[in-house]
């Protein structure tokens, strides 16, 4: 990939079609202050920065952030890069948007990683579910009134998507689901609740895509 025309000059970067979709649910982000949690290797950070947002990219792993820094340098895009645990860090002031691509089972990537069930047989996912909920709660606390939380996972499991979203709305009365529907997003990609649910069998004419869940919560008070 790195030898293809334009890569070294930073004219483009690579994301799976599904991974590139969640950031588009935010619509126009120009001038908005955004925290991108679990940001490495930086695809969503670059999407947001390219859209004119002021981005703070936060990740627990400084070594994974090295790849994000390299991507930013190659593309000429700007973002503040912060190595920190999101459960202990907080922004200096409330922000317009938090993007949370939460740690998950990665079951949405099975089409590209069919060895995953054998590499991690019968994993205990309960700690992941708890971490996702804790990160959602923490991220909501960083938002301005009327601010938005983009929550997404590369998972096919409803417990990491639809059920996690429903539980968040029970814990935080007044949250609304209001994703922007980008051009090209098909009607059957959306749940009855308004969440984006992508599956590996979608877009066969374009080589398919990963499984992904994404939704945008709006905090009350704006």
Strand 143-153 versus strand 95-101 pairing type: parallel
Tokens 């009350």 sit on residue: 220
CA dihedral 130, 131, 134, 138 (to 10 degrees): -170
Q: Is 38 a catalytic residue?
A: no
Q: Quote the distance between the C-alpha of residue 47 and its chain's center.
A: 11
Q: How many CA atoms lie within 13 A of 186 on its CB side?
A: 8
From the candidates 38, 104, 152, 154, give the one annotated as an active-site residue. 154
Strand partners, 198: 212
User: DSSP 3-state assignment of 20?
Assistant: helix
Nearest alpha carbon to residue 47 among 158, 162, 182:
182
What separation in angstroms does the CA of 196 have from each of 30, 128, 190? 23, 21, 5
Catalytic residues: 154
């Amino acid at each position: 990939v790195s030898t293809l025309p334009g890569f070294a000059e930073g004219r483009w970067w690579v994301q799976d079609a599904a991974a590139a979709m969640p950031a588009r649910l935010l619509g126009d982000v120009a001038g908005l202050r955004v925290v991108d949690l679990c940001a490495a290797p930086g695809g969503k950070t670059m999407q947001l920065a390219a859209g004119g947002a002021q981005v703070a990219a936060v990740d627990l792993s400084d070594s994974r952030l090295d790849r994000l820094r390299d991507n930013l340098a190659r593309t000429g895009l700007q973002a503040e890069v912060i190595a920190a645990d999101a459960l202990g860090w907080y922004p200096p002031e409330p922000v317009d948007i938090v993007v949370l691509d939460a740690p998950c089972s990665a079951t949405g990537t099975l089409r590209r990683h069919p060895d995953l069930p054998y590499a991690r047989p019968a994993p205990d996912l309960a700690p992941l579910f708890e971490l996702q909920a804790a990160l959602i709660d923490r991220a909501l606390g960083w938002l301005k009134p009327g601010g938005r939380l983009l929550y997404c996972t590369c998972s096919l499991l409803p417990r990491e998507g639809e059920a996690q979203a429903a539980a968040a709305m029970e814990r935080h009365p007044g949250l609304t689901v209001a994703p922007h529907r980008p051009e090209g997003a098909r009607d059957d990609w959306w749940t009855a609740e308004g969440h984006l649910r992508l599956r590996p069998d979608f877009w066969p004419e374009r080589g398919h895509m990963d499984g992904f869940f994404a939704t945008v919560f709006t905090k009350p008070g704006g």
